[in-house]
């Protein structure tokens, strides 16, 4: 062994690890006493507790899925907050447009329905302008892509549970679908009359020239 | 805004009247029950998996024209074209003496998730076309494609030009990357492989996208306006029919949806002549039959700029476009257009007898 197990470096690393566990227990205590009110992240959040640590042990597959689910959920929340902010800005802008339009129009709307229609025009116009922007399209796509990734991870967990309960998994059903489809296609091909391929008549070969040696 | 007392009083009176009208609407809706849609008589002449091919019963003396096969989009139900007797595109064609077939894609489910556009265009659509040709002992027919169904019809006409005597495209996207196309802008950054990895795309998801194109009008104003109908049963039934149709959205088969978004929306392969279907390169210049291209000037789903370029890319010498002052749906059910559009279609066909 090159290093003394009780060297200062080893002790320091041990204290750091113990500290992490101590932190974990502190969080457990926090969550059980003040569920939902604590600002600390959720307890079983491996990415938060041990950032970058690989999943270990018998349940490593579940840990990986859980870590990805947590990470994706965090990304979704972040993007959704941006989306909500963007929509709030659109609404504020639309109100400004409404105020301006009402100030410019000599005749005020006479009924609530008229006023409402003017508001819808303003809101839709402002929204449309924003919706055509590259930033809006990217944000919407990111929300969609993260949702898709979340659905895939949830599907993996469901597959694991299905296996435990001896239920057919999606993968098994998919395999059967492919086999049935291949059989259908083979049957259709066998049932349909073979297409005649008319060959163009061969051109008569030119006689080879004999080369006199 | 003026806040003079008389105006305020007007507003309060108007609000009270609206409240009373809303009560009348609710009372009528509660008594109404379910609404009937797709009422023209038809019978299924061919079926395969979820797909059904219907033939409508004649309503007038035959005009002796080639039969019309309607290829509707996969993303909504085709009964929009036959919503009710007095708002029926199909019925108007029948009254003009046309022989009308309708291809109904049905409601795809998990068993269809691996079916790509090949299977739908070179498979189901091909077999429906060939069924009609065989049934009528003819060698070509009129193909009428609506929206996405128009794009699919164009693809088929390019693959099998001899089977298509006339081609009619209605609100059909051809150039998927024009500046007015909001749907296309949103589609550009979507990882459609990821979206379809876990199966079919829910119809509700697509509904959400469509509502997001005009959220204030489609999720609020529409229902506020409903309150002003004052319990008019006929108008309320019309509203409920449309409401039923709008949210009757089949799930989209994963593979076909992925290919449609990627190849058409993201890569614009159709007009770039880079599309391959059924192992064959697809060229729009192969579309040689006379073409009538109908588009709507107020279409927020398929803007006119997406449809207009068709004429420049096909090989047909007889090409005509028709701009209609309507929206994507109003084209079929709008006050004037529900008569004028089918009349224009039958007149165009009769002129090319």
Write the CB contacts of A106 (distance below 8 Å, at least 6 apart in sequence): none
Residue A6 is given by DSSP the state T
**Which whole number is the average pLDDT over B73-78?**
96
Please report the pLDDT score of residue A29 as a whole number.
39
Q: Is B18–A109 a contact, with Cβ atoms under 8 angstroms apart? A: no
Cα–Cα dist B188/A132, whole Å:
12
Please report the pLDDT score of residue B191 as a whole number.
98
Please report the pLDDT score of residue B160 as a whole number.
97
Residues of chain A in contact with residue B191, where contact means CB-CB under 8 angstroms, are 141, 144-145, 148
Beta-carbon pairs below 8 A across chains A and B: 90
Q: Is the dihedral of CA B291, B53, B62, B295 positive or negative?
A: negative
Query: Which tokens go with A176?
Result: 């059967």
H/E stretch holding A129:
helix A112-131
Cα–Cα dist A100/A103, whole Å:
5
Q: Of B110, B185, B190, which has the smallest distance from its Cβ to A144's Cβ? A: B190
Residues of chain B in contact with residue A137, where contact means CB-CB under 8 angstroms, are 185-186, 188-189
Query: Which tokens go with A68?
Result: 């990805």
H/E stretch holding B54:
strand B51-56
Cα–Cα dist B190/A147, whole Å:
11
Write the CB contacts of B331 (distance below 8 Å, at least 6 apart in sequence): B170, B171, B294, B296, B299, B324, B337, B341
**Highest mean pLDDT pick, B231-235, B238-242, B259-263:** B259-263
Write the CB contacts of B74 (distance below 8 Å, at least 6 apart in sequence): B105, B108, B120, B148, B149, B250, B252, B253, B256
| Poorest-pLDDT segment among B6-20, B29-43, B82-96, B287-301 | B6-20
Hey, is B189 helix, strand or coil?
coil
Residues of chain B in contact with residue A123, where contact means CB-CB under 8 angstroms, are 216
**The overall pTM is greater than 0.80:** yes
Q: Is A120–B217 a contact, with Cβ atoms under 8 angstroms apart? A: yes
Closest residue of chain B to A117, computed from CA coordinates? B221
Distances (CA, A) of B3 to B14, B16, B40, B353: 15, 18, 54, 65
Single out the residue of B155, B116, B105 nearest to residue B256, CA to CA: B116
Please report the pLDDT score of residue B2 as a whole number.
46
Cα–Cα dist B276/B153, whole Å:
15
Please report the pLDDT score of residue A1 as a whole number.
37
Q: Count CB atoms within 10 A of the CB of residue B349.
A: 24
Hey, is B301 helix, strand or coil?
coil
Q: What digits encode the pLDDT tens for the residues B268-318?
A: 999 999 999 989 999 999 999 999 999 999 999 999 999 999 999 999 999
Residue B201 is given by DSSP the state B
Cα–Cα dist B41/B56, whole Å:
6
Please report the pLDDT score of residue A59 as a whole number.
78
**Which whole number is the average pLDDT over B178-199?**
96
Contact A206, B142 (CB under 8 A): no
**Which whole number is the average pLDDT over B193-219?**
96
Please report the pLDDT score of residue A75 as a whole number.
96
Query: Which tokens go with B114?
Result: 């691996």
What number of CA atoms fall less than 13 Å from residue B14's CA on the CB side?
15
**Which whole number is the average pLDDT over B235-264?**
96
Please report the pLDDT score of residue A24 as a whole number.
43
More confident residue, B99 or B39: B99
Please report the pLDDT score of residue A206 as a whole number.
60
Mean of all residue pLDDT scores within chain B: 94
Q: For B56-114, where are the alpha helices, taking DSSP H only?
A: 89-95
The number of angstroms, rounded, from the C-alpha of B70 to the middle of its chain's C-alpha atoms is 10
Over B260-277, what HEC string results? HHHHHHHCCCCCCCCEEE
Single out the residue of A53, A73, A49 nearest to residue A64, CA to CA: A53
Q: Of A116, A128, A132, which has the smallest distance from its Cβ to B224's Cβ? A: A116
Residue B230 is given by DSSP the state T
Please report the pLDDT score of residue B9 as a whole number.
79
| Poorest-pLDDT segment among A57-71, B73-87, B230-244 | A57-71
Q: What digits encode the pLDDT tens for the residues A88-121?
A: 999 999 999 999 999 887 777 777 888 899 999 9
Q: Which ranges of chain A have pLDDT less than 70?
A: 1-52, 193-213
Q: What digits encode the pLDDT tens for the residues B311-326?
A: 999 999 999 999 999 9
Buried b (16+ CB within 10 A) or exposed e, A103-135: eeeeeebebbbebbebbbbbbbebbbeebeeee
Whether the pLDDT of residue B335 is over 90: the answer is no
Contact B165, B289 (CB under 8 A): yes
Q: Of B110, B111, B194, which has the smallest distance from its Cβ to A149's Cβ? A: B194
Please report the pLDDT score of residue A6 as a whole number.
42
Single out the residue of B251, B250, B249, B253 nearest to residue B118, CA to CA: B253
Closest residue of chain B to A147, computed from CA coordinates? B195
Whether the pLDDT of residue B97 is over 70: the answer is yes
Catalytic residue numbers of B read 147
| Residue located via tokens 């007015």 | B180
Q: Is B213–A111 a contact, with Cβ atoms under 8 angstroms apart? A: no
**Which whole number is the average pLDDT over B10-39?**
85
Query: With an 8 Å Cβ cutoff, is A185 touching chain B?
Result: no
Q: Count CB atoms within 10 A of the CB of residue A159.
A: 15
What number of CA atoms fall less than 13 Å from residue B209's CA on the CB side?
21
| Poorest-pLDDT segment among A66-75, B145-154, B165-174 | A66-75
Please report the pLDDT score of residue A50 as a whole number.
60
Cα–Cα dist A168/A164, whole Å:
10
Cα–Cα dist A141/A82, whole Å:
13
């Amino acid at each position: 062994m090159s290093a003394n197990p009780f060297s200062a470096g080893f002790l320091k690393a041990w204290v750091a690890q113990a500290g992490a566990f101590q932190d974990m227990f502190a969080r457990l205590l926090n969550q059980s006493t003040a569920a939902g009110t604590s600002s600390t992240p959720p307890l079983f959040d491996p990415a938060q507790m041990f950032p970058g640590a690989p999943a270990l042990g018998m349940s490593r597959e579940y840990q990986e899925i859980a870590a990805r689910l947590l990470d994706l959920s965090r990304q979704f929340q972040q993007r959704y907050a941006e989306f909500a902010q963007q929509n709030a800005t659109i609404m504020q802008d639309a109100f400004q447009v409404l105020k301006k339009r009402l100030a410019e129009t000599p005749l005020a709307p006479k009924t609530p329905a008229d006023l409402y229609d003017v508001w819808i025009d303003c809101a839709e116009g402002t929204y449309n302008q924003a919706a055509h922007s590259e930033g809006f399209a990217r944000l919407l796509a990111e929300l969609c892509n993260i949702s898709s990734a979340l659905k895939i991870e949830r599907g993996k967990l469901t597959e694991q549970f299905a296996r435990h309960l001896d239920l057919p998994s999606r993968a098994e059903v998919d395999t059967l679908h492919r086999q049935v489809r291949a059989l259908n296609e083979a049957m259709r091909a066998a049932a349909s009359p073979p297409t005649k391929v008319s060959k163009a008549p061969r051109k008569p070969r030119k006689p080879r020239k004999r080369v006199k040696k | 805004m003026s806040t003079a007392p008389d105006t305020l009083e007007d507003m309060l009176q108007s609000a009270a009247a609206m409240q009373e009208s809303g009560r009348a609407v609710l009372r009528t809706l509660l008594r109404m029950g379910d609404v009937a849609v797709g009422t023209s008589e038809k019978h299924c002449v061919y079926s395969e998996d979820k797909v059904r091919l219907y033939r409508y019963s004649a309503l007038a003396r035959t005009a002796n024209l080639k039969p019309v096969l309607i290829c509707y989009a996969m993303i909504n139900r085709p009964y929009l074209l036959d919503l009710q007797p007095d708002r029926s595109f199909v019925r108007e064609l029948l009254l003009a003496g046309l022989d009308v077939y309708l291809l109904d894609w049905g409601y795809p489910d998990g068993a269809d998730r691996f079916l790509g556009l090949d299977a739908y265009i070179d498979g189901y659509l091909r077999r429906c076309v060939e069924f009609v040709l065989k049934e009528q002992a003819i060698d070509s027919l009129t193909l009428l494609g609506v929206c996405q169904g128009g794009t699919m019809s164009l693809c088929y006409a390019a693959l099998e030009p001899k089977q298509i005597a006339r081609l009619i495209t209605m609100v059909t996207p051809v150039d998927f990357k024009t500046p007015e196309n909001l749907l296309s802008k949103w589609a550009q950054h979507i990882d459609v492989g990821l979206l379809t990895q876990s199966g079919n795309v829910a119809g509700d998801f697509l509904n959400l996208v469509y509502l997001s194109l005009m959220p204030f009008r489609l999720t609020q104003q529409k229902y506020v306006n409903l309150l002003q109908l004052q319990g008019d049963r006929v108008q309320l039934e019309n509203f409920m029919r449309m409401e039923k149709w709008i949210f009757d959205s089949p799930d989209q088969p994963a593979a076909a949806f992925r290919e449609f978004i990627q190849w058409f929306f993201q890569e614009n392969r159709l007009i770039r002549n880079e599309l391959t279907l059924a192992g064959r390169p697809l060229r729009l210049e192969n579309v040689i039959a006379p073409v009538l291209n109908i588009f709507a000037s107020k279409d927020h789903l398929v803007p006119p700029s997406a449809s207009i370029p068709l004429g420049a890319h096909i090989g047909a010498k007889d090409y005509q476009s028709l701009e209609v002052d309507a929206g994507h749906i109003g084209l079929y059910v709008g006050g004037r257009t529900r008569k004028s559009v089918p009349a224009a279609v039958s007149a165009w066909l009769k002129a090319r007898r």
